[in-house]
Amino acid sequence: MRIRVRLFAIQRELVGAREVELDLPVGSSIEDAWMALVALHPALAPGRAYVRFARNADYADADTPLADGDELAIIPPVSGGADAGDAGAHAGHGASSQSRILELRGEPFGASILAELGDRLATDADGAVVGFIGRTRESPGTPAPGQEAEAARHAGRSVDSLGYEAHEPMVLAILGQIADEIAERFGVRRIAIVHRTGDVPLGEPSVAIVAASPHRDAAFDAARYAIDETKARAPIWKAERFADGQVWVGEPAREGPTAADAVRALDEEGR
């Protein structure tokens, strides 16, 4: 059988290609595909402990069987990783409705996007509209595993800009899952998550979050959950760019809500 492997960020640079086709025996698993890929491109091997996998745009375990024609995405450490964290025009790709705006935008936007999104979301029933902007800062973040030596080469320097890369269909699907979780956990059904792709210069916004709700506590909780989960789970990669090079930053992607989040959700459901 033949599968298509998609590569992003660090893995894309190591291989020198965005896609690789693999011919595998019928019944092969994702782990088998990874081993076949490493046999072709040994430089990928040290990253095994830090990558996640997605079969046909859904996170999947390494023992998941593959089928002919499948797409396998190799997910290197994402921009926010497992930690909480950062930073997205009608010209972008995404899903938009009166209650939910989920977009990736290649074009710049300013802080006025919060008013734009709030006007699109809020109804007369809403007493609170909470907005968050994530901006490019000059101080470097935590280098992704395998990028430590390159980060050390740029130690003490200021970041000139950020470069964002995304697995767009998968990002939008995960943002939809996050919006569903926000509705279930906080009762907030009007939410916007807009993230930039491409180059974002120093001081410019890279992500915008807006939550509209009748009550402020729920809106604050929803906005915080939206940014934390987006940074931890969405396959969006961030490179910090310097005058003479770049460093990929982030942590291994989290494939769903944390165990603590799941317990909290059950407690809230039982009240």
Q: Residue 84: pLDDT above 70? A: no
The C-alpha angle with vertex 73 and arms to 71 and 74, in degrees rounded to 5, equals: 150
Residue with more model confidence, 89 or 262: 262
Q: Residue 79: pLDDT above 90? A: no
Q: Residue 88: pLDDT above 90? A: no
Task: Extract the tokens encoding 230.
Answer: 């987006």
User: CA 129, CA 192: separation in Å to the nearest integer?
Assistant: 11
3-state secondary structure of 109: coil
What is the structure's pLDDT at 269?
A: 55
User: CA 91, CA 229: separation in Å to the nearest integer?
Assistant: 24
Q: What is the pLDDT of residues 158-213, one digit of tens each?
A: 999 999 999 999 999 999 999 999 999 999 999 999 999 999 999 999 999 999 99
The pLDDT-based confidence of 123 (bands split at 50, 70, 90) is: very high
The pLDDT-based confidence of 258 (bands split at 50, 70, 90) is: confident
What is the structure's pLDDT at 96?
A: 47
Mean pLDDT on 92-101: 65
Q: Give the number of other Cβ atoms within 10 Å of residue 220's Cβ.
A: 17
Highest mean pLDDT among 64-78, 82-96, 240-254: 64-78
Q: What is the pLDDT of residues 14-39, one digit of tens each?
A: 999 999 999 999 999 999 999 999 99
Element (H, E) at 145: none
Which residues, listed in sequence order, are joined to residue 5 by a DSSP beta bridge?
Answer: 20, 72
Mean pLDDT on 84-96: 43
